[in-house]
């Protein structure tokens, strides 16, 4: 997978979201304090990415590496997502240049509130660039881009957090940060065809090296 300059990519996407990337403005929300520079690691089981044309990418396992916050922030950063056992219509699929069944995605993350009134948190996961997924047996290429939102299913304090999203109407999932609303914007389509709205069923367990707490201000 291509190694990108994390800082410039994060800033570009955050400005596209309409969020100022200054450490003062973002840290004021007070989300996930005391995380230091340790970051987190993660894992998960089966993932299904499906679009409205019922085209699906299925992967058996997830490994999350290098979950790191942007310097001066405690709500956004980037991480490497390694998916294995990936198939489309039962045929092995992989990102260009990677081993059969392996799909690598580098995603930006943004911690946000799924429900500001009850302090239910979520995480927005945005691909840094369009993901090219080939299915050699079908001589097909799928293009994926955009963001998904997963909701925190665990408590707001601890060393481990479980985030999950269910496939469905792409317009349903949304979260809020600094008064701005973000919605699922994932798209998955066969190359040369029009973009198609998509969603993802995923359960992700994040493990921090120390106890952290999700708080709103």
26-85 tens-digit pLDDT: 333 445 554 455 578 999 999 999 999 989 999 999 999 999 888 777 788 999 999 999
DSSP state of 73: -
d(CA 188, CA 190): 7
Q: Could you tell me the CA-to-CA distances from 197 to 62, 159, 186, 194 in Å, in that order?
A: 22, 34, 6, 10
User: Which residue range forms the structural domain that includes residue 66?
Assistant: 6-213
Residue 22 domain-assigned (yes or no): yes
Residue 103: name the closest of 147, 64, 133, 136 by CA.
Answer: 133
pLDDT score for 217: 64
pLDDT digits (tens, 9 = 90+) for 7-35: 444 445 554 554 544 333 333 344 555 44
41: left (phi over 0), alpha (psi -120 to 50) or beta: beta
| More confident call, 130 vs 168 | 130
pLDDT at 134: 97
pLDDT at 124 over 70: yes
Flag whether pLDDT at 153 surpasses 80.
Answer: yes
Dump the DSSP string for 169-195: -TTT-EEEETTEEEE---EEEETTSPP
The answer to whether residue 179 sits within a structural domain is yes
Strand partners, 134: 94, 141
| Strand duo 47-51 + 198-213: pairing | antiparallel
Average pLDDT, stretch 165-191?
82
Query: Closest Cα partner for 147 from 17, 8, 27, 15?
Result: 17
pLDDT for residue 104: 97
Are the C-beta atoms of 92 and 100 separated by less than 8 Å? Answer: yes
- The residue among 31 and 135 whose pLDDT is bigger is 135
Does residue 68 sit within a domain? yes
Has residue 35 been placed in a domain?
yes
3-state secondary structure 110-122: EEEEEECCCCEEE
Does 163 map to a domain? yes
- Judged against a pLDDT cut of 60, whether residue 188 lies above it is answered with yes
Q: Which of 61, 48, 43, 46 is nearest to 168 (CA)?
A: 48
Number of folded domains in the chain?
1
In a domain, 1, yes or no: no
């Amino acid at each position: 997978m291509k190694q990108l300059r994390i800082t410039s990519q994060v800033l570009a996407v955050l400005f596209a979201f309409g969020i100022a990337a200054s450490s003062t403005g973002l840290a004021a929300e007070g989300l996930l304090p005391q995380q230091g520079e340790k970051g987190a690691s993660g894992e998960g089981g089966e993932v299904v990415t499906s679009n409205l044309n019922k085209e699906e990418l299925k992967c058996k396992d997830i490994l999350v590496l290098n979950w790191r916050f942007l310097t001066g922030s405690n709500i956004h950063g980037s991480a490497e997502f390694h998916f294995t056992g990936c198939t489309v219509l039962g045929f092995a699929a992989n990102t260009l240049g990677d081993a059969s069944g392996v799909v690598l995605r580098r995603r930006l993350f943004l911690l946000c509130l799924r429900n500001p009134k009850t302090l239910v948190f979520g995480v927005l996961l945005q691909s840094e660039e369009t993901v090219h997924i080939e299915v050699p047996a079908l001589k097909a290429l799928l293009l994926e881009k955009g963001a998904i939102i997963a909701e925190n299913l665990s408590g707001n304090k601890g060393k481990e957090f479980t985030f999950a999203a269910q496939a469905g109407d792409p317009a349903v999932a949304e979260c809020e940060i600094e008064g701005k609303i973000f919605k699922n914007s994932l798209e998955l389509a066969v190359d040369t065809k029009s973009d198609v709205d998509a969603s993802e069923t995923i359960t992700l367990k994040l493990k921090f090296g120390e106890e952290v707490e999700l708080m709103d201000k």
